[in-house]
Structure 1
Amino acid sequence: MEDLLLSFETILNIKTMLILLTGVVVGIVVGSIPGFTITMGVALTLPFSFSMDPINGIALMMGVQVGGSSGGLITACLLGIPGTPSAMATTFDGYPMVKKGEAGRALAVGLWASFIGTIISGIVLIFMTPLLAEWALNFGPWEMFALMLFGISAIASLSEGSLVKGLIAGVIGIAFAMVGTDPLVGTSRFTYGFTELLAGFNFLPVLIGVFAFSQLMTDIKNPPDSMDIKVNSSVSYPILKTLKDMWTSKLNVIRSSLIGVFVGILPAAGGSIANILSYDIAKKFSKTPEKYGTGEKDGVIAAESANNSSIGGAFVPMLAFGIPGDAVTAMMLGALLIHGIQPGPLLMQNQPVLVYGIFISIFIAAIFMLLVQSFGIKAFLKINDIPQHVLIPLILMLCVLGSFAVNNRTFDVWVLLLFGLIGYWMKNNGFPLPPFILGIILGPMIEQNLRQAITINSDLSVFMTRPISAVLIVLAVLSMVYGIYNNIKSKKEKGSLQSS
């Protein structure tokens, strides 16, 4: 109880609240610009969090994530172009509603669905994280190794594209994590005479390079056009009518939010899968499924509820096990590691104020998101008028400055460039980025737990005789089998489409 009160005291101060509000505004701006992603927004704010207290740094990135997840609905509804991948299903009914003259209603129900979904995910996060963390305290090195193996295999199998490429990306990430000083022997590995690499690659320029810099190179090659948004109806809608709409769709909101939480817990799934899945399920449960796709408010509600509720779900495995649920929480995990904080089963015991602070910040971010987007919708629409030839150099400058500021050395700028090129090459050749990043982040822990387990008992069969590690290894194998099945299924579907 004392830790909870201290967390409220830490969060509910002017400085932290302003940081959280700033994050929400930045997130909505990023989310409302087609071509930019929430991951990119968080990557750009990561350098600023480095100079903050851990709780303030996480609050900043939490604000960006919550704001960005909801901000995508603006252009999804008004233009039929999702601002973020996780707003894809929002376009199915949001844009038809706008064309029918219901722009205000589409934005209002989408915003409130995002708000309620975030709140529900925060409640689930509060109850699930301590239970899973307490269970994970019984894990030895065998179970921890198996858990991380399952995390990488699950992300590789659920990521878009080839399972083999997903696994290769994970292995490459682990290989980069081996650079530096051997944690047990103390000898240098793969440093090639660079003293800057004795401590390994710094997470910050790596994350910015892979997610933000690589996206910039894509935008430079294929620049998205700036858009002059013209809406034929008002973007405002009465609050009482909105609440009435939400009340009549309460079962849809709750169901879609819980789907989003569940999908968010799955490694690499995230909002892009959650909003399409919940939309499809809402359509199947609807008494009038034929209305979906023609401007049905329940379609927008289902998509946006699941979209934002996946946020809290993605934090559950990160806080309880130290395994991020998606690319954004992977960067937050990296931010905590930069601050010397190791997420996982002991985090609740060692840093209870920080954990409770994360719980509280997700609720406050949801409130800020509701208020800011309600009153600032017209201002955010103007962001799309900024020419790309102005926006891209500005973001490029932030990437370089953020990487340089870590240690005040140009070496980290070269690291940014290296991993930006790697990320760009991987995206263009069908290699998913989440397994690669997870390999870099989890690589040291995978190595440490594996070597510790072998030191205690060199018999590898122990991994299969200990129940929890055996179950996790079986799940890792099943996830890869599922990935193979999905690859075969998608190839057959593509073949049938081409033949027809």
Structure 2
Amino acid sequence: MELQGHLSLGFSVAFTVENLLYALVGCLLGTLIGVLPGIGPVSTIAMLLPATYGLPPTAALIMLAGIYYGAQYGGSTTAILVNLPGEASSVVTVIDGYQMARRGRAGPALSAAAIGSFFAGCVGTLTLAAFAAPLAELAFKFGAAEYFSLLVLGLAGAVVLASGSLLKAVGMVVLGLLLGMVGTDVNSGVMRYTFDVPELSDGISFIVIAMGIFGYGEIISNLSHTEKREVFTGKLEHVYPTREDFRLMMPAMLRGTALGAALGVLPGGGAMLSAFAAYTVEKKTRLRPGEVPFGQGNIRGVTAPESANNAGSQTSFIPLLILGIPPNAVMALMVGAMTIHDIQPGPQVMTGNPDLFWGLVASMWIGNLMLVILNLPLIGIWVRLLKVPYRWLFPAIVLFCAIGVYSLNNNTWDVWLLGWFGIIGYVFIKLGMEPAPLLLGLILGQMMEENLRRALLLSRGDWSVFVTHPISAALLAAAASLLAVVLLPAIRKKREEAFVEE
């Protein structure tokens, strides 16, 4: 079988000492930043991008991928033991996870999160491997017009699936598109929106924007919160779930995995949307006789979202690796990591760099296994780490970000920009504006402009090329339908309530 041959190639690449080491480093870092509230995978990957310059491409991507799905594991530990989501996708795990800990069932809650995460991660990776070849064949049929329309659909999806106000989401996407236009026009060589500032002639680095908005912005926000963390100090007795727990967990795990695998592929989707959707589905599923109500320590309220967020984090690699389109902010940073190593995201990755593609896929199985083995034994260390005051941690993060940004171009201008974008990021948080659509607009906007110009050049300026090509027309129609449907009053109200839990 062709898939078996590809996977055997992938495991031969992933099982080298170097790649195993970087997978372990990525998993440990991911778990650590998932455990520590306020330090998410976006800011961590943004901080570590400069450090990947000297690494081989496969090792760099394996490590960054490990950070992403490792954060989903670590976030559940904080949610259950501290009543704080360590990572955004663990927001709903807090609801029942901490209540289980208070009832003396912290061990089964952590085990349920680990088992659900491992199962969903394996299924999500299998989904990626199974759909890779057929989707790559379809992607090779895409021309410039089709790619432009697909990117339009991606931005429409990012707007619709972003949490909070629709108008704010549109504003963030537009701001990202505008920031992407700063710099020298590739075709004409004319400087655009630089305001006669020479340092802006090469544009604004997306690493600077990502570190500033997601890294410094989150730090400033966290420093403004003075509440004391209530760290769980009880003993972890009866770590493994009971037979009755497994009877409740299995259906929830399957439902969460299926939802996460499907929603992870969508633009703007990924781990967070998957977790919310899975928890909502479980709440609407009838309780069994004697089952603990939701919000009071129901094990399904831990298993389903933790399964969903890991499945979503794995399948979000599908549009990135096969179509070259990042579905969320973390995948947008992965585009940057690939660009650093002169790898063009898209179907040619599978044909031109099969070692990298299948090595990355195989490393996800290995990484999920590493996380299961590491997760429970290290809980004592994470609990002690959570007692460290945040004011002792943030200076090191600030310094690391500044050094990383300076090392990009050895330019102090980038460090100043980092500080300004940190303030802007804090303002976004205070205004309730989710910054992820901005990063997607920044990355996808540059691809959109490139494909728009190429399509018009090939059609000699004929705009009808976007509706006369069947695939392009279908994608534009889907984008228009998506925006039209979400503007309906009933749908809009449901959408704005979707990310709010009692």
Superposition TM-score, scaled by structure 2 size: 0.91
Distance 1:404 1:10, change over 3 A: farther
Between 1:279-288 and 1:482-491, the stretch displaced more is: 482-491
CA positional deviation for 1:5: 5.1
Letter matched to residue 250 of structure 2: K
Deviations 1:258-317 (A, max 9, x none): 111111111112222212221232343445276333322222211211121111121111
Deviations 1:70-118 (A, max 9, x none): 1111122223322222112222322222222111111111111111111
Is it true that 1:148 corresponds to 2:151 in the alignment? Answer: yes
Aligned mates of 1:214, 1:485 — CA distance in 2: 33
User: Retained in 2: the 8 A contact 1:73–1:83?
Assistant: yes
User: Retained in 1: the 8 A contact 2:95–2:295?
Assistant: yes
Aligned to 1:309: 311
Is it true that 1:95 corresponds to 2:95 in the alignment? Answer: no
Letter matched to residue 35 of structure 1: G
User: Retained in 2: the 8 A contact 1:336–1:343?
Assistant: yes
CA positional deviation for 1:404: 0.9
Paired residues in the alignment total 492
Aligned mates of 1:128, 1:235 — CA distance in 2: 42
User: Retained in 2: the 8 A contact 1:180–1:200?
Assistant: yes
User: Retained in 1: the 8 A contact 2:221–2:429?
Assistant: no
Residue 377 of structure 2: SS of its match in structure 1? helix
CA positional deviation for 1:415: 2.8
User: Retained in 2: the 8 A contact 1:162–1:487?
Assistant: no
CA positional deviation for 1:69: 0.4
Aligned to 1:452: 454
Distance 1:333 1:137, change over 3 A: same
Aligned to 2:255: 255
Aligned to 2:445: 443
Aligned to 1:229: 231
User: Retained in 2: the 8 A contact 1:204–1:406?
Assistant: no
CA positional deviation for 1:35: 2.9
CA positional deviation for 1:473: 0.9
Aligned mates of 1:383, 1:232 — CA distance in 2: 16
Residue 378 of structure 2: SS of its match in structure 1? helix
Distance 1:133 1:422, change over 3 A: farther
Aligned mates of 2:242, 2:62 — CA distance in 1: 29
Residue 265 of structure 1: SS of its match in structure 2? coil
The structure with more helix, counted as a fraction of residues: 1
Aligned to 2:266: 266
Aligned mates of 1:40, 1:31 — CA distance in 2: 12
Aligned to 1:56: 59
Distance 1:134 1:247, change over 3 A: farther
User: Retained in 1: the 8 A contact 2:150–2:475?
Assistant: yes
Letter matched to residue 213 of structure 2: V
Is it true that 1:470 corresponds to 2:489 in the alignment? Answer: no
Letter matched to residue 457 of structure 2: T
Structure 1 stretches lacking a partner, 5+ long: none
Aligned mates of 1:224, 1:148 — CA distance in 2: 42
User: Retained in 1: the 8 A contact 2:212–2:422?
Assistant: yes
Identity of aligned residues (%): 33
Distance 1:246 1:344, change over 3 A: farther
Aligned mates of 1:478, 1:141 — CA distance in 2: 22
Aligned to 2:393: 391
Residue 342 of structure 2: SS of its match in structure 1? coil
Residue 375 of structure 1: SS of its match in structure 2? coil
Aligned mates of 2:130, 2:6 — CA distance in 1: 16
Is it true that 1:279 corresponds to 2:279 in the alignment? Answer: yes
Residue 344 of structure 1: SS of its match in structure 2? coil
Letter matched to residue 46 of structure 1: L
User: Retained in 1: the 8 A contact 2:466–2:472?
Assistant: yes
Distance 1:487 1:267, change over 3 A: farther
- 2:368 pairs, out of 348, 357, 366, with 366
Aligned to 1:26: 29
Structure 2 counterparts to residues 132-281 of structure 1, below 5 A: 132-223=135-226, 225=228, 227=229, 229-234=231-236, 237-238=239-240, 245-246=245-246, 249-281=249-281
CA positional deviation for 1:331: 1.2
Distance 1:73 1:491, change over 3 A: closer
User: Retained in 2: the 8 A contact 1:163–1:480?
Assistant: no
- 2:115 pairs, out of 112, 115, 119, with 112
Residue 291 of structure 1: SS of its match in structure 2? coil
Structure 2 stretches lacking a partner, 5+ long: none
User: Retained in 2: the 8 A contact 1:43–1:331?
Assistant: yes
CA positional deviation for 1:138: 0.7
Distance 1:373 1:438, change over 3 A: same
- 2:323 pairs, out of 317, 321, 324, with 321
Residue 275 of structure 1: SS of its match in structure 2? helix
Letter matched to residue 271 of structure 1: A
CA positional deviation for 1:249: 3.5
User: Retained in 2: the 8 A contact 1:223–1:388?
Assistant: no
Distance 1:114 1:214, change over 3 A: same
User: Retained in 1: the 8 A contact 2:184–2:202?
Assistant: yes
User: Retained in 1: the 8 A contact 2:82–2:231?
Assistant: yes
Distance 1:220 1:97, change over 3 A: closer
Distance 1:243 1:417, change over 3 A: farther
Aligned mates of 1:20, 1:355 — CA distance in 2: 15
CA positional deviation for 1:244: 8.4
Distance 1:58 1:191, change over 3 A: same
- 2:482 pairs, out of 479, 483, 490, with 479
Distance 1:14 1:247, change over 3 A: farther
Letter matched to residue 446 of structure 1: M
Aligned mates of 1:486, 1:43 — CA distance in 2: 37
Structure 2 counterparts to residues 118-133 of structure 1, below 5 A: 118-133=121-136
Superposition TM-score, scaled by structure 1 size: 0.91
Aligned mates of 2:339, 2:496 — CA distance in 1: 42
